Amino acid sequence: MSKYYTFKIKRYLPDENPKIRWDVFRLKLNSMERVLDGLVKIKETMDGTLTFRKSCAHGVCGSCAMKINGKNRLACQTLVKDLPEKIEIEPLPSLPVIKDLVVDMTLFFQKNDKVLPYLINEEPPPERERIQSPEDQHKILESITCIMCGSCTTSCPVFWTDKEYLGPSALLKAYRFLFDTRDRAIEERLEAVTGEHGVWRCHSIFNCVEVCPKEIDITKHILKLKRLAVKKGFKGGPE
Amino acid sequence: MEINKHYFDTVIIGSGLAGCRAAIECINHGTVGVLSKLYPTRSHSTAAQGGIGAALGNEEEDSPEWHTYDTVKGSDFLGDQDAIEIMCYDAIPTIIELEHMGVPFSRTPEGKIAQRRFGGHTRDFGKAPVRRACYSADRTGHAVLFALYEQCQLKGVKFFQEFQVLDIVIENNKVQGIIAVNIKNGSLHIFESKAVIVASGGYGKVFKVTSNAYASTGECLSMLFRQGLPLEDMEFFQFHPTGLYGLGILITEGARGEGGILINGKGERFMERYAPTIKDLAPRDMVSRAILIEIREGRGIDGKDYVYLDLRHVDKKILHERLPEITTFCKIYMGIDPSEAPIPIVPTAHYAMGGIPTDNDGRVLRDIDGSIVEGLYAAGECACVSVHGANRLGCNSLLDTVVFGRRAGKSASSTLKNAIKGKVKKERISLIADCVDMIRKSNGKETVASVRRDLQTAMMDKCSVFRKEEELSVLLEELQALKERYKDISITDKSTTFNTELLDAIELGHMLTLSEVIASCALHRKESRGAHCREDYPKRDDENWLKHTFAFQGDKGITLKYKPVKLTRFKPEERKY
């Protein structure tokens, strides 16, 4: 079943005109099609300059996060039939816009780099795999599903006001290694996440949880991170 | 014209599994720069679901010898057996190494890497299914890619994200470096190096229905081909049996490994007729054909063009723990819960067995005699070693990327000491810059989208699971017409900032080249083997066709040469399951 939808899209084409404008496109889409299909259709048949990121088109690569009807989501995972007939699309908030729906994610990725985002274990490895019980593996199960799309951090009011705040995505990454029984860098990593712009700044606003396309309960992970920090003697934070 | 120059001992194109694994090897011996047209973890490796094969024997008895046999048989005896043996024996230390790097594998109750059944994986040379697929739920590619990328970060590999490669520069049979554009601002960058490893992935986007990402367009293969280098076995393209109907999104073979079955419109478990021993876990080429035969003979669901993958009888706990991702896909995209309703599926273009020919150490071959291009390597889906032959077994793609990514990295590193630094000449840079500018300024009557759509439709209709001479000949004519239309395209976005319309146009030119190679190779192979099924030549013909195709760009079109298959332990036999 096809239906007409109106896509109202926030445009920024710096080579053409540095002013932001809103363009409206009307197009027919069927009930299986996604917002990304709509964007592709517009680019293919109405306006070749419309610019957005895309790749896997089924919610695993994290390229096409954008703000759709006021909420950060993946365009490839949002079916038009689940939205009202008027669809308003903007780039992810609070990051510099490069062009149209493409934001500069450098700052977002830099935060990730700060939490030592890799398994650290300098002990000589055993001949076979390191043993990890299914229960221990389950502790990190949810956190490893993150696709780094940026929906969470850019929806966080703390990040909006403090651009140095590590933000939900990087804190989740820290959790992923801190709770991995194979990792040996607990102290260094806790040091990295408990600074002035670290874990204590999370006020459990839950915006991140609400927008996460992989339905990760990020706030729960951050709370566990705080508890671990306290247990290990990393108290305090900003007054 | 402003040009940014870089030097790295080794330059790697692509940041998926093969590229990252190669980088980890190379960084111990010199400087490494990795280019990706996406952010590294968005590479399509991340979409691999079901597992990575290795005869660890964690769940039940298994051996690398059985793995070798299964892979040879799965390849319909076109795989080179020396390479397959290397892969299957290397598999064990390679997977253990991945675990040490931090891959969060699912675990057995004893805490070892968990393993499950998969298509074509058998014990004791085909007697019964075996648990060989190591997995991390149904997000195995994602789990491995993140761990490898993270280790690259730890070791100081330099990444250039959102850089599109425009040219791989080879002069005097030696790789000199590459020319790339920074997508963000359109600036040109030259990367000179001693070695280049191509790990750019697949090109499923030449087909209309595919599990592949938008980025899987194969331009690097075409760049080498246009310079006179061969492409091997391009007629072999795998269609995965279970793509979501209407979308092509992959539903892992692991779903059948965990007990899922295929049923037709009459409610029959039809794979019992096609593969009596291992049924739904037969290799992909056979299952895809079986599905399409059922549909063709009117036994699709309600007579329509799809069948069902039924998981309703699978324990909900297993769906939740081992197949959460595909369960979510079904809910999001089809509005169904697989524990309550069967999943409508149809085969989807999935994996290129063919690619850039290499030896067992990733060195790119320039002819059928084994001669190489100095400093040039390839690994992963873009390469053809060949370990997959005419049909790849599930879980062998991830394995191929890490085993041969590692080997390519090792062999590239071993030659660095005596290698000369490459040099990219100014004339070559100007040529590329002019080319890009010309495309940017094109003002013809066609759009990139319309030519691409017609290409994808033509390839799907005439060169997918079933093929015939007549249709392939028509296809080749259509491709000529599409190439003419491509010359008359128009680009509306004239800007230098994040110009994806321009990149789409560049990719399309390369997709046209690759499609012509695929169709030519398919037309000339007059037999049916693995994924290449010729309805006019339905039998495998070992006497005439037990050989690899090497396609070259000649002065008057594509020329083909053939190279014998390396047979060691296993003599070709009839392929029954």
Here the CATH number for the domain that contains residue A65 is 3.10.20.30
Query: B177: part of which helix (H) or strand (E)?
Result: strand B174-182
Residues of chain A numbered 145-184 and touching chain B (CB < 8 Å): 145, 147-148, 177, 180, 182-183
Query: Which letter does DSSP use for residue B42 in this model?
Result: G
Whether chain B has a CB inside 8 Å of the CB on A233: the answer is: no
Is residue B323 within 8 A of residue B361, CB to CB? The reply is no
Q: What is the DSSP letter of A56?
A: S
Q: Which residues contact B222 (CB under 8 A, 6 or more apart)?
A: B509, B510, B511, B513, B514
CATH number of B242-346: 3.90.700.10
Q: Which residues contact A142 (CB under 8 A, 6 or more apart)?
A: A216, A217, A221
Where does the pLDDT of residue B90 fall: very low under 50, low under 70, confident under 90, or very high at 90 and above?
very high
Contact B213 A57 (CB under 8 A): yes
Confidence of residue B365 (pLDDT cuts 50, 70, 90): very high
Cβ of B106 within 8 Å of Cβ of A137? The answer is yes
Sequence ranges of the domains in chain B: 3-185+351-380+391-418, 242-346, 442-564
Contact B382, B220 (CB under 8 A): yes
Residue pairs spanning A and B at CB distance below 8 A? 157
B269/B286 Cα distance (integer angstroms): 15
**Which residues of chain B does A141 touch, with a Cβ-Cβ cutoff of 8 Å?**
104, 137
Q: Name the β-bridge partners of B467.
A: B534
Question: Which element (helix H / strand E) includes B191?
Answer: strand B188-198
Q: Quote the CA–CA distance of A83 and A193 in Å, as a whole number.
A: 38
What b/e string do you get for A5-26 counting C-beta neighbours within 10 Å, with b at 16 or more?
Answer: bebebbbbbbbeeeeeeeeebe
**CB contact at 8 A, B239 and B531:** yes
What backbone torsions phi and psi does residue B230 show, to the nearest 5 degrees? -80, 160
- The reply to whether A224 and A126 lie within a common domain is yes
Determine the residue of chain B that is closest to A112 in CA distance.
B150
CATH number at residue A158: 1.10.1060.10
Task: Count the Cβ atoms, other than its own, within 10 Å of residue B2.
Answer: 5
3-state secondary structure of B403: helix
Which candidate from A102, A128, A137 shows the least CB-CB separation from B498?
A102
Which 271-290 residues of chain B touch chain A by CB within 8 A?
A: none
* A98 touches B: beta carbon within 8 Å: yes
CB A148 to CB B39 under 8 A?
Answer: yes
Residue B131 falls in the annotated catalytic set: no
Please tell me the predicted confidence (pLDDT) of residue A17. 87
Residues A72 and A119 reside in one and the same domain? no
Judgement on whether residues A19 and A80 belong to the same structural domain of the protein: yes
Q: So what's the pLDDT on residue A16?
A: 87
Contact B394, B115 (CB under 8 A): no
Task: Determine the number of helices (DSSP H) and then strands (DSSP E) in chain B.
Answer: 16, 26
Q: Are strands B188-198 and B372-378 parallel, antiparallel or unpaired?
A: parallel
Is-above-0.90 flag for pTM? yes
Residues 6 or more apart from A17 whose CB is under 8 A from it? none
User: Cβ–Cβ of A47/B492 closer than 8 Å?
Assistant: yes
Task: Check if A204 contacts B (Cβ < 8 Å).
Answer: no
What class does CATH assign to B442-564?
mainly alpha
Among the candidates A73, A103, A133, a domain finishes at A103
CB contact under 8 A, B153 and A117: yes
Residue A118: CB atoms within 10 A of its CB come to 21
Q: Identify the DSSP state of A84.
A: -
* CB spacing of A137 vs B110 below 8 angstroms: no
> A130–B99: do the CB atoms touch at under 8 Å?
yes
pLDDT of residue A183: 97
The angle, 0 to 180 degrees and rounded to 10, between the axes of the packed helices B17-26 and B396-414 is: 30
Contact A49 B214 (CB under 8 A): no
Dihedral angle computed from the Cα positions of residues B340, B344, B348 and B350, in that order, rounded to the nearest 10 degrees: 0
Domain annotation covers residue A239: no
> What is the amino acid identity at position A134?
P
Q: Per-residue pLDDT tens for B506-556? A: 999 999 999 999 999 999 999 999 999 999 999 999 999 999 999 999 888
């035969």: which residue's tokens?
B293
Query: What was the pLDDT predicted at A239?
Result: 43
Same domain, A211 and A137: yes
Q: Give me the catalytic one of B284, B322, B407, B440.
A: B284
Residue carrying the six token digits 């394995």: B399
Rounded to a whole number of angstroms, the distance between the first and last alpha carbons of chain A is 56
- Would you tell me how many other CB atoms lie within 10 Å of the CB of residue B505? 24
Q: Is residue A117 part of a domain?
A: yes
Q: pLDDT per residue over B307-326, tens digit each?
A: 999 999 999 999 999 999 99
Contact B39 A63 (CB under 8 A): yes
What is the rounded distance in angstroms from the CA atom of residue B232 to the CA atom of residue B230?
6
Are A96 and A151 in a shared domain? no
CB A66 within 8 A of CB A101: yes
Chain A residues with CB under 8 Å of B112 CB are 128-129, 131
Query: How many distinct structural domains can be found in chain A?
Result: 2
Residue B398 — φ and ψ, nearest 5°?
-60, -40
Nearest to B105, CA basis, from B58, B41, B153? B58
User: What is the least distance, in Å, from the CA of B490 to any CA of chain A?
Assistant: 10
Does residue A49 sit at the B interface (CB-CB below 8 Å)?
yes
Question: Do A120 and A221 fall within a single domain?
Answer: yes
**A97 membership: H or E segment, kind and range:** strand A97-99
Q: Are A134 and A61 contained in the same domain?
A: no
| Contact by Cβ (8 Å): A153, A169 | yes
- Which one, of A200, A211, A83, lies nearest residue A146 by Cα? A211
Report, as ranges of residue numbers, the positions in chain A whose pLDDT lies below 50.
Answer: 238-239
Phi first, then psi, for residue A217 (nearest 5°) are -80, 80
Facing residue for B96 by CB, picked from A47, A51, A129: A129
B346 lies within 8 A of chain A by CB: no
Tokens of B240: 């995965």
pLDDT the model gives residue B285? 96
Q: Tell me, yes or no, if B489 comes closer than 8 A to chain A by beta carbon.
A: no
Cβ separation B44–A61 shorter than 8 A: yes
Nearest residue to A141 via CA among A185, A179, A184, A186: A179
Q: Residues 233 to 262 of B: which have CB under 8 A from any A CB?
A: 246-247, 249
Does residue A142 share a domain with residue A68? no
Predicted ipTM of the assembly: 0.97
**Cα gap B205→B456, rounded to integer Å:** 7
Contacts of A148 in chain B (CB under 8 A): 39, 41
CATH 3.50.50.60 correct for B3-185+351-380+391-418: yes
Residues of chain A found within 8 Å of residue B101, distances taken between Cβ atoms: 119
Domain final position from A103, A129, A150: A103
Task: Indicate whether A155 and A202 sit together in one domain.
Answer: yes
Q: 3-state DSSP call for residue B443?
A: strand
Q: Does B158 touch chain A (CB under 8 A)?
A: no
Alpha-helical (H) ranges within B373-416 are 396-414
User: Is residue A153, in this structure, part of any structural domain at all?
Assistant: yes
A69 within a domain of the structure (yes/no): yes
Domain span at residue A12 reads 2-103
- CA–CA separation, B131 and B121 (whole Å): 7
- B215 has pLDDT over 70: yes
Short-list B447, B437, B448, B409, CA closest to B195:
B409
Residue A56 and residue B42: Cβ atoms within 8 Å? Answer: yes
A120 contacts in chain B (CB < 8 Å): 154
Residues of B in contact with A63 (CB under 8 A): 38-39, 42
Tell which of A103, A128, A156 closes a domain. A103
Phi, psi for residue B171 in degrees, rounded to 5: -140, 140
What is chain A's percent helix, strand, coil content, to nearest 5? 35, 20, 45
β-sheet bridge partners, residue B446: B489
Taking the Cβ of residue B348 and every Cβ of chain A, the question of whether any pair is shorter than 8 Å is answered with no
> Tens digits of per-residue pLDDT, B234-274?
999 999 999 999 999 999 999 999 999 999 999 999 999 99
Q: How many angstroms separate the CA of residue B296 from the nearest CA in chain A?
A: 25
- Please check whether residues A84 and A127 belong to one and the same domain: no
* Residue B409 CA, distance from chain mean position: 19
Q: In chain A, which residues have their Cβ closer than 8 Å to the Cβ of B44?
A: 55-56, 61
Specify the residue for token string 């992963």: B380
Same domain, A68 and A143: no
Q: Which of residues 27-46 of A touch B (CB under 8 A)?
A: 32, 43-45
Mean pLDDT of B119-131: 95
Q: Cβ–Cβ of A60/B105 closer than 8 Å? A: no
My answer on whether A22 and A89 are in the same domain is yes
Sort out which chain A residues have CB atoms less than 8 A from B493's CB and list them. 48-49, 51
Contact B262, B271 (CB under 8 A): yes
Which residue type sits at B252?
A: T
User: β-pairing, B372-378 with B363-365?
Assistant: antiparallel
Report the pLDDT value the prediction gives residue B7, as an integer from 0 to 100: 98
**Are the C-beta atoms of B219 and B506 separated by less than 8 Å?**
yes
